[in-house]
Chain A
Amino acid sequence: MTPIAHSPNSRWPALANIARWVAIGLALLWSLAPIYWMLSTSFKTELEATRLDPTLWPEAPTIANYSGLAGTSLPFVSFFINTVVSCLLTAVVCVVIATPAAYALSRARFRLAGTVGYTILAFRMLPMVVVLAPLYLLLLNVQLLDSSTGLVVGFTTFGLPFAVWMMKSFVDAVPIEVEEAARVDGYPRWQVLLKVVVPLIMPGILTTATFVFMEAWNNLIYPLTFITTMEKQTLPAALVLTFTGQFKTDWGGMMAAATITTLPLMIAFFAVQRSMVRGLTSGAVAGA
């Protein structure tokens, strides 16, 4: 590792400076090369994608892999819609339910506040796989298995506790004085929350929603277990289910599907990247 300057105006020996930029260059290569490889492969023909001497740039670039996704026997369009719908629904449900809870915990005036707060945090850390079998039986009994609603219920198990804690840190950052005027005017608490606090923490709400959305998008184990009809499957699970056959070697098509799966997450991620630092540092790290 390179030595680091502790101030912009400290004199860096030229050699150390070069070493530093080489290290940064290597880090960029390490981070981006796999993504480049995915994109590049997604434009290759099936034959070129598995050549023994891989080509860095597609020799005969083709969009057949992408157009193939829409036209194959596999309903990739419905996979995409299923994933977007269930993840968005999860984000909205979690944020709507978590906002009043986060507000109450932040401005806690009730005796069980500490217990409730830490119980919710503990739920956040539960291994999902532990609740997997009982949740499956529960959804089976209420006939929500194999439905988007059932999937949203599953995603809520980790999304809701996360949303409560992340949002609490955003409410904590709102000075209580801001609410006082409205309180003196005798507005009920839910109106203070809706009209004063929510507009102030809107960036935090969006960041939290995006995080829940991303976590749901990343999740594989719930769709794999709770969804049994192929048409109702989500993208991540569909990738796994359609690509476990030994003889399927269409890596070009696979990487095109992977790119499509990545795109919405990439957009969501960079949309909130700025406020994310604050949300995570106060929410996850400071835990306040």
Chain B
Amino acid sequence: MPTQASSSQVRAAPRRRREPWLDWMVLPTLVIMAVVVGYPIVYTVVLSVEDYNLLDFTPADYIGAANYAKLAGDPIFWASLVNTAIYTFGSVGLSALLGLALALLTENLGGARFRAIRALLLTPWAVPFVVVAFLFRYMYLQNGGIINAVLLSAGIIDAPIPWLNSAVIALPAVMIANIWAMTPFFFLLLSAALSAIPNEVLESARVDRAGTWGMIWHIKLPFLRNPLLISSLLMVISNFNDFAKIWAMTQGGPGYSTSTLVVYVYRLAFERFEFGYASAVGVIWLIMLMVFAWIYMRALRMENR
């Protein structure tokens, strides 16, 4: 057993000598991760330089950077990349704003009333992604969908909008469903962050007669900056990976208008069985995500300091 000296600094020197490289307690996790994640990543890189097709029974050949060259000139890849960026940053940005507004709105509601309101506002979080997708798909129906029916009867529109069937509107429509599902996350985290602001800070601002807006802008938002940044990055990463909502709503269509990289890789690999090419897209994808993960971890370390 390693030293148990947590409080005594006297043992610092001998401890260093006895400090093992690895702890057996993390080994099960590491072994499993190595098999189910580490090995597949290495395999992806290998596949990405081969012309591997699952339906092709001849052994895969090494084709060097050919997949990557193909990717550079693939308009669907670039369209998917742009869609992914719009989908991710648009949804995360708007959800964060909405969540922030809700957290500020409900901030000083105390007691049972607040708990009830909070629970109700959190409900969309507990709806499975696939259900979110089908629910909105139903509400978006061009004929007989509740959204068009409401807009028509309110006189806001003259003709039903083809929400998910229009190459232009489909992506924003999917994003609205995504924002609906994601806002509670920001609401909950920002509520918690708001209540963590030390009372003395608020008191002294009050003594200085700070107005409501001044209070939000100069006192609360600076305190919320880090939680907001970190939860946004977390959601950016999870939205980059979002498959269920888009696939169940539009399958990336009409055309490729709502196709993100995840959807595109899935189609390449499991509709066309081009595992090699899909892996090349995956590797590029991986590199981009790792950049984001790196930023996230930097932000974490700053927060911990």
Contacts and interface: CB of A to CB of B under 8 A. Distances in A.
Interface string A51-95: 111100000000000000000000000000000000000000000
11 contacts: A34-B139, A52-B144, A101-B30, A128-B243, A134-B47, A164-B29, A237-B130, A273-B122, A277-B192, A284-B234, A286-B303
Contacts of A153: 36
Interface stretch (B64-72, B99-107, B166-174): B99-107
A126 B289 contact: yes
Interface string A256-272: 00100110011011100
A196 interface: no
Contacts of B128: 217-218, 235-236, 261-262, 265
A132 interface: yes
Contacts of B126: 214, 262, 265-266, 268-270
Contacts of B240: 127
Contacts of A119: 33
B297 interface: yes
A38 B131 contact: yes
Contacts of B191: 277
B121 interface: yes
Given A23-B105, A34-B180, A285-B193, A110 B22 contact: yes
Interface in B123-161: 123-131, 134-136, 138-139, 141, 143-146, 149
Contacts of A184: 4
Interface of A: 1-8, 20, 23-24, 27-28, 30-32, 34-35, 37-38, 41, 49-54, 97-98, 100-101, 103-105, 108-113, 116, 118-123, 125-138, 153-154, 156-157, 160-161, 164, 176, 179-180, 183-184, 188-190, 193, 214, 217-221, 224-225, 235-237, 239-240, 243-244, 251, 254-255, 258, 261-262, 265-266, 268-270, 273, 276-277, 280-281, 284-288
Contacts of A281: 189, 192-193, 196, 227
B283 interface: yes
Contact of B131 (A136, A251, A262, A273): A262
Given A52-B143, A109-B19, A287-B300, A122 B189 contact: no
B180 to A, nearest CB: 7
B22 A220 contact: no
B104 A54 contact: no
Contacts of A32: 120, 123
Interface of B: 1-4, 6, 15, 19-23, 25-26, 28-30, 32-33, 36-41, 43-44, 47, 101-102, 104-108, 110, 117, 119-131, 134-136, 138-139, 141, 143-146, 149, 180, 183-184, 188-189, 191-193, 196, 202, 205-206, 210, 212-213, 215-216, 227, 230-231, 234, 237, 240-241, 243-244, 247-248, 251, 261-262, 265-266, 269-270, 275, 278-279, 282-283, 285-286, 289-290, 292-293, 296-297, 300, 303-304
B274 to A, nearest CB: 9
Contacts, number: 328
Given A130-B283, A160-B33, A220 B130 contact: yes
Looking at A8, A97, A153, A237, the one whose CB has the most chain B CB atoms below 10 A away is A97
Contacts of B292: 125
Contacts of B279: 130, 133-134
Contacts of B230: 284-285, 287
Contacts of B183: 31
Given A189-B1, A261-B130, 10 more contacts: A5-B108, A5-B212, A109-B23, A110-B22, A122-B293, A132-B266, A236-B129, A236-B131, A244-B251, A262-B128
The 10 closest A-B CB pairs, nearest first, are A134-B40, A269-B126, A134-B43, A104-B25, A287-B300, A220-B244, A131-B40, A100-B25, A109-B2, A236-B130
Contact of A110 (B23, B108, B146): B23
B129 A220 contact: yes
Nearest to A93: B32
B22 A4 contact: no
B282 A133 contact: yes
A97 B29 contact: yes
A170 to B, nearest CB: 16
A31 B122 CA distance: 8
B105 A20 contact: yes
Contacts of A103: 25
A203 B251 CA distance: 39
B248 A220 contact: yes
A188 B1 contact: yes
A153 B107 CA distance: 42
Contacts of A123: 33, 37-38
Contact of A3 (B30, B127, B213): B213
Contacts of A20: 105
B244 to A, nearest CB: 4
Given A116-B30, A218-B244, A284-B234, A54 B44 contact: no
A285 B248 CA distance: 30
B6 A125 contact: no
A255 B138 contact: yes
B133 to A, nearest CB: 8
Nearest to B177: A34
B111 to A, nearest CB: 10
Contacts of B104: 1, 4
